[in-house]
Structure 1
Amino acid sequence: MNLNITGRHVEVTPAIRDYVSTKLDRVIRHFDNVTSVAVILSVEKLQQKAEVTLHVRGKDIFVESEDTDLYAAIDAMTDKLDRQVQKYKQKQADHNHEALKHQAPPEA
């Protein structure tokens, strides 16, 4: 998995980089088909913004979050991303069950 963390109008310190990577490890642990992750941290006036684009096979999952505290924005972003990944994973599992259900039974 390729992790890219970018800062717009904010310096990405090693502490922030470690915090983001540990939070994303929790999310990615649920799903093993992740090819790359792009995180953008930005500051606009008094709002701190965290965005992430998760590239999986066949789909890109995008989530953004804003807060007055950067760490709170990262927490909210990872919570949203976790829900999106679980929703996508459930949709994939349901799709696979439907495909198996519509197959003809083996003839004996």
Structure 2
Amino acid sequence: MSITITSTVIDISPAIRERIESRFEKLSRRQVDLITPHVIINKEGLKYQVEATAGVRHDTLFAKAEDDNLYAAIKDLGQKLERQLNRYADKPLAQRAHAGQPVASGEVDDGVDLDEEEEYRAE
């Protein structure tokens, strides 16, 4: 997987690149193809801001993390992306689980009160 990493503040060292790539390798375990992942590293005051976007089929994942330590920010970013990817990957399963459920007769509310229906028939 080719990850684009950009930063105007620091030089991207091999250790930083390796840390980011290892976080994205964890994401690839979900069997969802990530399309053109892009990571941007900025520094605002004393804090590092790390943003990432990655395309998935019919959607885009975006996460932003901020910390004093760059490696901690990368870890938080990876965790946020992982939660989004889990939600994205499990969404079809959740929809299929509720699609085949029969509705109990007592749960249907068609807006008609039975007493009103009997009065109408009596007239």
- Following TM superposition, by how much is the alpha carbon of 1:96 offset from its aligned partner in structure 2, in angstroms? 4.7
Give the drift of 1:45.
1.4
Higher helix share: 2
Structure 2, unaligned runs of 5 or more: 102-123
- The answer to whether the 8 A contact 1:2-1:35 is kept is no
- Cα distance in 1, alignment partners of residues 7 and 24 from structure 2: 17
Tell me the amino acid that sits aligned with residue 69 of structure 1.
Answer: N
- Tell whether 2:14 aligns with 1:25: no
Instruction: Tell me the SS of whatever aligns to 1:23.
Output: helix
Q: Counterpart of 2:93 in 1: which secondary structure?
A: helix
The two structures have a TM-score, normalised by structure 1, of 0.83
- Supply the distance in 2 between the matched residues of 1:77 and 1:31 (Cα, whole angstroms): 19
CA drift at 1:92: 2.6
Larger radius of gyration: 2
DSSP 3-state at the match of 1:53: strand
Pair 1:63 & 2:63 matched: yes
Superposed displacement of residue 59, structure 1? 0.4
* Alpha-carbon contact 1:63-1:77 (below 8 Å) kept: yes
- Given that 2:32 and 2:89 are in contact with CA atoms closer than 8 Å, whether structure 1 keeps it comes out as no
Tell me: higher relative CO, structure 1 or 2? Use CA pairs within 8 A at least 6 residues apart.
Answer: 1
Identity fraction in percent: 31
Amino acid across the alignment from 1:2: S
CA distance in 1, matches of 2:93, 2:33: 14
**RMSD in angstroms over aligned alpha carbons?**
1.7
* Structure with the higher fraction of residues in strand conformation: 1
Match of 2:121 in 1: none
C-alpha separation in 1, matches of 2:2 and 2:18 = 15
- Distance in 2 between residues matched to 1:53 and 1:31, nearest whole Å: 18
User: What count of residue pairs does the alignment treat as equivalent?
Assistant: 101
SS of 2:10 mapped into structure 1:
coil
8 Å contact from structure 1 (residues 36, 56) kept in 2: no
State the SS of the aligned residue for 1:12.
coil
Which residue identity lines up with residue 86 of structure 2 in the other structure?
A: Q
Q: Offset at 1:97?
A: 5.1
3-state SS, counterpart of residue 52 of structure 1: strand
Within 5 Å, give how 1:1-108 maps onto structure 2.
Answer: 1-96=1-96, 101=100
